[in-house]
Structure formats: C-alpha cells, structure tokens
A = this chain, B = another copy of it.
Amino acid sequence: MPRDVRMRGFERRHDVDEVLRLLDARLAPLPAEEVPVDRAAGRVLARGVVSAVDVPGFDRSAMDGYALRGEETFGATTYAPRTFSLRGEARPGHPFDGAVGPGEAVRVMTGAPIPTGADAVCRAEVAREEDDGATVLILEPVSPRKNVGARGEDVRAGTALLDAGRRLRPQDAGLCASVGEGRPSVVRRPRVAVLVTGDELLPPGEAPSGARIVDSNSLVLAALARRDGAADVEVERLRDDRSLVRARLAAAAARADVVLVSGGSSVGTEDHAPTLVAELGELPVHGVAMRPSSPAGVGFVDGRPVFLVPGNPVSCLCAYEFFAGPAIRRLGGRPMDWPHRRVTLPARRKLVSQVGRVDYVRVRIVDGAVEPLAVAGASILSSTVRADGAVVIERDSEGIEEGGEVEVRLY
C-alpha cells in the first residue's frame, strides 16, 4: 500500500455551532465544595445564600454622640439646652450595661449598640458635657429613631442574598461573611492537564536552537485556562511517541477535569492524538469548518472532555477560545460565552471570509477603526501580539465590507 494513503483527510468538517451544542449538552458544572469565606471571592456559588440573621443584630448608633429618649430633647436650643444625666458609654463591641431612663443619656460611638430605653442619638457636635462628664447638655432637638441604624437595616434574617450560579464579587463575599456564612458552597474549579507533543519542542525558558523551537503553547493555554477559572494547570511536554502519548493521555484524563492536547491533532502519520482519543474513549468531533484551527478535535475519555488543539500557535489560541475555554468555564459554573470585553467599530478595510466556515481574524484598532493584520498565517504567533483583539466572522457571512460595523473581542 503506498505511503500516501496516510493523508486521509477529514471525513467532514463539523460546524462550530454544532460543536458548541455538543459541549453544552455534555458538560455540567462540577460538584460543589465548601471554601472558607475569605477565599470565596471570584468563586461561583453552588447554593444560594440566605441570611440566618439580622445584620446588624442590634440597633446601632450611626454617629458619635449621646443616646437618649428623643422626645425629651424637643425644644432644646443653644440658649436653652436640655440637661441629661450621663450614665456611661457604649462603644462598638462594648454595649452599655444597663438601661437609659428618663432624663438620662449614654455616650455612644458610631457603630455602638443603642442602650435599652434610648431611641435616638444626638450628635456630639450639638452637645456639651459638663460636671466632669456627669451631665451632658443637648443643644438641638433630635427625633426618635434619628441617627439610629435599626437592627436588620443591612440584612434581615431570611432574606435570599445571593443566588446559586453567581460569581462572587468582593462585596458579595464580604456580605457572606457579615451574615456568618463561613464556608459558602461553591462550584469546584476545574483541574486542567495540558499535554504538549512534539520532538522539536524545548521547554519555555530555553533558547531556540538548530531545528528546535520553544514550546509557547503550554504557556498560552495555561494562562488562558487560569483566566477562565482553572484551579491548577499541569503541563507535560511529550515526544511524538504514540505509546508514551497514549499512557500520558489516559493518566491525564484520570486525574484532570479537562485535557488539552497541543500538536499532532491533524491526520498525518505523526498525528497520534485523534486516534488515541478515539481508542481510549470517543472522538465525536475531528475537523471543524473554521479558520484557523480546522484540525481541532473534541473527544471524551473517561467522561472527561479532551480538546485536540493544533500546534500552530494561532490555531492553538483560536481552538482554545472557541472550544476549550467555554468548556472550562462551564465546568466551573461560569457562562460559556467569551469573557472578552467587546467594542463595535467600523472596518477600515474589508474583512474577507468564506461562506461555510467561521473565521477568526486578528485585528488592530487604529484611529477608532478596525483593520485585519496583513500577515496572519496560523504559524505567526507575533500576529496575535500585534493584534488588539479578534473578530469572529460567522459561517454564513462573506465577510465585512469596508466601513461596515464589526465587533472586536479585545485581547
């Protein structure tokens, strides 16, 4: 049999949308885990948070001043102050140990519990202590409830504060702490394994030399996975040795939640990854109607998604963004949508595309208009460095005319 049958080509190219529907159907958020609330910011709630308590749990002073019975101050002026017997002091964390009776006041600081019997706080600026602190003169009337923060004014017991699925912002995590939710239940973050294959690859940190180039894909994939909420990312670089790749792929699928295999994703004799995924599990997608990244693949081993990412660095970035990124976000409970900030601007030049495939076009923004990068081969990593972002041109589009509006996903 002649050697050239090895170039067997792809049976068919899958549509990008079809692949995303498959991921949507097959992947669900990982199980919940509890985390200490001071590590919860950025995490996605697996269970909503309902407050069991009032916050604050007591009426508190909103001012530095004097707690008393508001109605007793009515008519007070600078010239005709009302005099109160000063019974003591309340500070935050140090309540006044007693009750405020008629004609009595307690010095209070902002945040201190309002003593029993008092119902208002007169601001310190309109009061004056006398007799070495035995009495206080009140120079202005203060209505009942004035300068008092009521028990439960921030949160009432029983209130649903945060829904499941919410990604906790700093203040959301703070509110969990306030209500005593010490270990919120959050979606576990996916563990990601990155296998980079290729005899030509040197590890990042080494200098390229002779016929060997430096692996940049592992670094790009790891950084993107961390952006998307991966807990940890393990990287292994492997020779193009079928049995070695097989063993490491099986091991990776056994311990990680997502496996990314960079390189060897196409249909050549040294492209082991597709047949190995099919052997170890299933490979429902191999070959996608897109550019770059058409040799991308999506499979499952032990139920874990495995993404075949072409070795060309631009294809690698593109295949990650289209497929692996949404999957990692879904497993971690985040939205599958691209997380990029988007801007819509006019095209300075035509963006060419072909009906029947999705195009991922690196663009620059120059003077408020979008232009595709002139040099844009899939092997040119520097093109993604010169680019400000990417434009995705949908399958049924012939591209975007000069002057047309384009949405840029900013890097």
Interface residues of A (CB under 8 A from B): 2-4, 6-7, 9, 36-38, 41-42, 52-53, 55-58, 62, 64, 91-95, 107, 109-113, 124-125, 127-130, 133, 149, 153-155, 161-162, 169-175, 177-180, 182-183, 198-201, 204-220, 222-224, 226-227, 235, 240, 266, 268, 270, 311, 313, 317, 341, 377, 379-382, 384-385, 411
User: How many copies of this chain does the complex contain?
Assistant: 2
The answer to whether A153 touches B379, judged by C-beta atoms less than 8 angstroms apart, is yes
Tell me, rounded to whole Å, the shortest Cβ–Cβ distance linking A102 to chain B. Answer: 23
A217 to B, closest residue via Cβ: B174
Residues from chain B with Cβ under 8 Å of A113 in the complex: 211
Q: Determine which of B9, B110, B129 lies in contact with A4 in the assembled complex, contact meaning CB atoms within 8 Å.
A: B129
Q: Determine which of B92, B198, B240 lies in contact with A200 in the assembled complex, contact meaning CB atoms within 8 Å.
A: B92
The answer to whether A171 touches B210, judged by C-beta atoms less than 8 angstroms apart, is no
23 contacts between A and B (CB under 8 A): A3-B107, A36-B204, A37-B219, A38-B219, A41-B219, A55-B208, A64-B268, A93-B198, A93-B199, A111-B198, A153-B377, A154-B382, A170-B223, A172-B385, A173-B219, A173-B220, A174-B217, A175-B216, A175-B385, A178-B381, A179-B208, A180-B207, A341-B341
The answer to whether B109 touches A379, judged by C-beta atoms less than 8 angstroms apart, is no
9 closest A-B pairs by CB: A93-B200, A180-B207, A174-B216, A93-B199, A41-B223, A170-B223, A92-B200, A182-B205, A177-B204
Tell me, rounded to whole Å, the shortest Cβ–Cβ distance linking A90 to chain B. Answer: 8
Known: A3-B133, A109-B268, A207-B182. A154 touches B223 (CB 8 A): no
The answer to whether A206 touches B182, judged by C-beta atoms less than 8 angstroms apart, is yes
Give the residue among A93, A183, A380 with the most B Cβ atoms within 10 A. Answer: A93
Complex-state Cα separation, A249 to B211, whole angstroms: 57
Residues from chain B with Cβ under 8 Å of A226 in the complex: 41
Tell me, rounded to whole Å, the shortest Cβ–Cβ distance linking A92 to chain B. Answer: 4
The answer to whether B215 touches A177, judged by C-beta atoms less than 8 angstroms apart, is yes
Known: A214-B180, A219-B177, A379-B149. A411 touches B169 (CB 8 A): yes
The answer to whether A38 touches B94, judged by C-beta atoms less than 8 angstroms apart, is no
A313 to B, closest residue via Cβ: B174
A386 to B, closest residue via Cβ: B161
Known: A175-B382, A411-B171. A58 touches B216 (CB 8 A): no
Residues from chain B with Cβ under 8 Å of A379 in the complex: 62, 149, 153-154
Q: Determine which of B2, B38, B107, B223 lies in contact with A222 in the assembled complex, contact meaning CB atoms within 8 Å.
A: B38
Tell me, rounded to whole Å, the shortest Cβ–Cβ distance linking A321 to chain B. Answer: 10
Complex-state Cα separation, A154 to B112, whole angstroms: 66
The answer to whether B268 touches A57, judged by C-beta atoms less than 8 angstroms apart, is no
Extra 9 A-B pairs, beta carbons < 8 Å, given A169-B411, A170-B220: A3-B133, A36-B205, A64-B266, A92-B211, A93-B212, A175-B382, A178-B208, A178-B216, A179-B208
